Structure 1
Amino acid sequence: MTLSRRSFLQASAALTTTLAAPSILHAKTDTIRIGGLHDLSGAIDSSGVPMDKALRYAVAELNAAGGLLGREVEAVTYDPQSNMSLYSQYATQLALKDKVDVVFGGITSASRETIRPIFHRYKTLYFYNCLYEGGVCDRNEFTLGTTPAQTIAQLVPHVMGLWGKKVYIVAADYNYGHISAAWVKRYVEENGGELVETEFFPLDTTQFGSSISKIQGAKPDIVYSLLVGTAHLGFYRQWAASGMKGEIPIASSSFGGAGTENVMLTPEEGNGMVVATGYFPSVDNAANASFKAGIKTFYGNDAPILGEISEVTYESVKMWAQAVSETGATERMGIIQELEKGKSYDMPAGKVAIDPDTHHTIRDVYIAELKDQEMVIQKTFNAVQPSDTQMVCNLSKDPDSNKQFEISL
């Protein structure tokens, strides 16, 4: 049943939120406290804002249904502003001062690797909800976003079959971009293709003219994009303005993850791009229909544009809450052991299960084409394993693991 906006607002009155400031409202002692740590300002706020809204909506939905264990759920959230020092500060505060039972947060891999060891050290359960490059092995963390083996492995042969075998990579200049580019190279070569060149761009890069000229001279069949964040949208706009959009098509496993990029580009700039992620709003199932209707009712005109990382944030809160209900407590190890049972969940993104050995998800993956700002699903892959991370992580054998492994390619 879709609850009214009024009901949600009444149920979520206990939510406390901080934006740029580290101070928070005093909590009620009888609430269950969870933490949120997403960039609401800074270079990647276009990703952080939808994630924060999905978390708040999930909490309001829980409270509208009576809370957990007879108590309201309270969200304590901070804006680290894409600043790693603030990530470290707020993670420590959530664990030691706010004493939350669980934290949902981090966007870039750099932010995750800043806060993950803090939560591991202080035994605060942590959910990371972004598509990323794979390899994290930490029993205290659950990683719900897609990895290269789930998206890039499906997308590369698909677009090579459509467009040709010569591939040029443009990628964000941090570990997500570098490691994911290596995976693209591997899958291109495994499918009989040729990697022409790879270029990396800092997150604040906005001018791509010289790169576009290089691509034009290299004459690839495909540009594969691993660009990230609002500044990098300049590439697609300048690509279309240069007249290259009609000459060389673009594929991406990072575009659309936040759900906002497709509507930030005009149809003239974006149409024809082919993308793979673990969720699109066009997924056709009852859970997704309810999710979209509910979040639209809750936020009205401020409803977020949905993508993988916002939907996965919602998933993570719901999975954690179900484990709390099933164990009858918020105790960390009890929740971990409950989620390690490998249950399948009917989520807006489709069937989702936790792989006990890696704490990553086994999930459906979709390939879609961007048409007039809408992602139109072309192909579905069911129950795709995080096989890249399974190569290096086995928490059943090594439950004390606490690192991100570099996966040998």
Structure 2
Amino acid sequence: MKLTRRQVLAAFGAATAMSFTSRLAAQGAPITVSALYDLSGGLESYGQPIVDALRFAVEEQNAKGGLLGREIKLNVYDPQSNMQRYAQFARQAALSDKPAVVFAGITSASREVVRPIMRQFNTLYFYANQYEGGVCDRNMFATGVTPGQTVEKLVNYSAKNHGGKVYIVAADYNYGQIIADWVKKYTADNGGEVLGVEFFPMDVTDFKTSISKIQAAKPDYVWSALVGGAHISFYRQWKAAGMLGKIPMSSTTFAGGNEHVILTPEESNGIMVCQNYLQELDNPLNKQFVADFHARFGADYPYITELGVGAYQGFRLWVAGVEKAGTVDRLPVIKALESGISLEAPSGRISIDPKTHHTTMDVHIARVENGGLLPVETFEQQPPADTAMVCDLIANPDDNQQYVIDF
């Protein structure tokens, strides 16, 4: 039987991976990395790309020879979008896996379940999602964007291009409520006006009354901080009401769960977002990353999300910390990361901010267009300025709380 070139390369790759794995196994026990992400229960559109990105990162590192000469093993748990299961699996991972690091949590609620458990069991914790900012905990590193990095940029852009009057719709939990406050602040800074704010539980699917209120208010644009599978209904009902294109929409949550892929172009084109990562970024490292990712998961993979890349980049930062420390032990790795480790990543350069354990990174405003995200404007090397207002872990290493930032 004659093999194609692709089959030959695949067989060679598999043989090479097996060879690496065999050699690594001979050099010591695997290094365990645990991951807790929703693969069911309503937030799976966010969780699955994150887990895929972590698998990719682990496989990539093992193909390079592992870490400190040892194979990395990834253990994945599905909390099913349930906080009790998050608590259960966080304890199980910390006690049974004895991981070198845990990557976990999509919502702020899940983070605040996991974070104290990781601290209790002295297990290093990476939170890779965008969030509302303010967490100050030496045991945690946050590699997603915060409001000062994205919300400010998108509010300014929206006010400049559409006008200062905004109507806010948001998920009814910690993230949505605090993001709404940030939108209010930046709107006021621009001399604008918030015409209305509505919060919706995560399981709400009927937005007709809210859309009628928005139509009556006649804002210059709508800000969406909606989250989860149920809230996709808002965008469909917005289109059905004939509003897409009539009143512009801006969001820092849209596309995080591949909403721009799930919805049709007719339901989503023109929505503006601001993120750290876009699959369309035109730099050599990202082009290679996308090509390799598609080679692993298929050319028809829906879209490599910002949340997935946040986990991938967080993993790369953790690896850099371990390599600098020369050990996977928690405190030496924390100290290594606090030295200000930085690296070139698919989204651009990312660096650990020692005082906050958050990251300095590029952010990009983009427009949803035919299932993709078309870059419009880039802001380079944005620090976590919001969290830096309240957190200094170099001066106060024992700090352990989430601050509500007073602005």
Q: Is the contact made by 1:364 and 1:384 (CA closer than 8 Å) also made in structure 2? A: yes
Tell me by how many angstroms 1:13 deviates: 7.4
Deviation above 2 Å: which 4+ runs of structure 1? 3-14, 301-304
Q: 1:58 to 1:44 in 2, by over 3 A?
A: same
1:391 aligns with 2:386: no
- Secondary structure (helix, strand or coil) at the match of 2:356 reads coil
Q: Is the contact made by 1:32 and 1:72 (CA closer than 8 Å) also made in structure 2? A: yes
Q: Is the contact made by 1:11 and 1:63 (CA closer than 8 Å) also made in structure 2? A: no
Measure the CA separation in 2 of the matches of 1:12 and 1:119. 32
- Secondary structure (helix, strand or coil) at the match of 1:292 reads helix
AA aligned opposite 2:367: E
Q: Is the contact made by 1:37 and 1:78 (CA closer than 8 Å) also made in structure 2? A: yes
Tell me by how many angstroms 1:246 deviates: 2.7
Aligned to 1:353: 351
- Secondary structure (helix, strand or coil) at the match of 1:167 reads strand
1:287 aligns with 2:275: no
Aligned to 1:64: 63
Cα shift readout 1:287-306 (whole Å, capped 9, x = no counterpart): 21121111111112573521
Aligned match of 1:337 in 331, 335, 338? 335
Tell me by how many angstroms 1:319 deviates: 1.3
Cα shift readout 1:154-198 (whole Å, capped 9, x = no counterpart): 000101111111100000000000000000000001001000010
Aligned to 2:3: none
1:32 aligns with 2:62: no
List gaps (5 residues or longer) in structure 2.
1-7, 20-26
Aligned to 1:257: 256
Q: 1:4 to 1:33 in 2, by over 3 A?
A: farther
Aligned to 1:400: 398
Measure the CA separation in 2 of the matches of 1:372 and 1:319. 33
Q: 1:309 to 1:231 in 2, by over 3 A?
A: same
Identity %: 49
1:85 aligns with 2:84: yes
Cα shift readout 1:210-258 (whole Å, capped 9, x = no counterpart): 1001111111110000011111111111101101113211000111224
Q: Is the contact made by 1:5 and 1:299 (CA closer than 8 Å) also made in structure 2? A: no
Measure the CA separation in 1 of the matches of 2:360 and 2:366. 19
Aligned match of 1:365 in 334, 356, 363? 363
Q: Is the contact made by 1:288 and 1:349 (CA closer than 8 Å) also made in structure 2? A: yes
Aligned to 1:172: 171
- Secondary structure (helix, strand or coil) at the match of 1:97 reads helix
**What is the correspondence of 1:293-308 to structure 2 with a 5 Å cutoff?**
293-300=291-298, 303=301, 305-308=303-306
**What is the correspondence of 1:118-267 to structure 2 with a 5 Å cutoff?**
118-258=117-257, 260-267=258-265
Measure the CA separation in 2 of the matches of 1:65 and 1:115. 31
Q: Is the contact made by 1:280 and 1:349 (CA closer than 8 Å) also made in structure 2? A: yes
Cα shift readout 1:100-148 (whole Å, capped 9, x = no counterpart): 1100110000000000000011110000000000000000000000000
Q: Is the contact made by 2:184 and 2:194 (CA closer than 8 Å) also made in structure 1? A: yes
- Secondary structure (helix, strand or coil) at the match of 1:342 reads coil
AA aligned opposite 1:386: P
TM-score (norm 2): 0.93
AA aligned opposite 1:272: G
List gaps (5 residues or longer) in structure 1.
15-27
Measure the CA separation in 2 of the matches of 1:388 and 1:282. 28
Count the aligned residue pairs: 393
Measure the CA separation in 1 of the matches of 2:329 and 2:275. 32
Tell me by how many angstroms 1:333 deviates: 0.8
Aligned match of 1:273 in 268, 271, 274? 271
Measure the CA separation in 1 of the matches of 2:92 and 2:209. 44
AA aligned opposite 1:84: M
Q: After alignment, is 130-139 or 3-12 more displaced? A: 3-12
AA aligned opposite 2:256: G
Q: Is the contact made by 1:53 and 1:304 (CA closer than 8 Å) also made in structure 2? A: no
Tell me by how many angstroms 1:10 deviates: 6.0
Measure the CA separation in 2 of the matches of 1:286 and 1:334. 33
- Secondary structure (helix, strand or coil) at the match of 1:149 reads helix
Tell me by how many angstroms 1:64 deviates: 1.0
More helix by share: 2
Q: After alignment, is 363-372 or 302-311 more displaced? A: 302-311
Measure the CA separation in 2 of the matches of 1:241 and 1:54. 34
AA aligned opposite 1:184: V
Q: Is the contact made by 1:46 and 1:230 (CA closer than 8 Å) also made in structure 2? A: yes
Tell me by how many angstroms 1:343 deviates: 2.7
- Secondary structure (helix, strand or coil) at the match of 2:186 reads helix
- Secondary structure (helix, strand or coil) at the match of 2:87 reads helix
AA aligned opposite 1:54: A
Q: Is the contact made by 1:147 and 1:388 (CA closer than 8 Å) also made in structure 2? A: yes
Q: 1:173 to 1:32 in 2, by over 3 A?
A: same
Q: Is the contact made by 2:261 and 2:302 (CA closer than 8 Å) also made in structure 1? A: no
Measure the CA separation in 1 of the matches of 2:335 and 2:128. 19
TM-score (norm 1): 0.93
Aligned to 2:115: 116
RMSD between superposed Cα atoms in Å: 1.8
AA aligned opposite 2:323: S
Aligned match of 1:318 in 316, 319, 335? 316
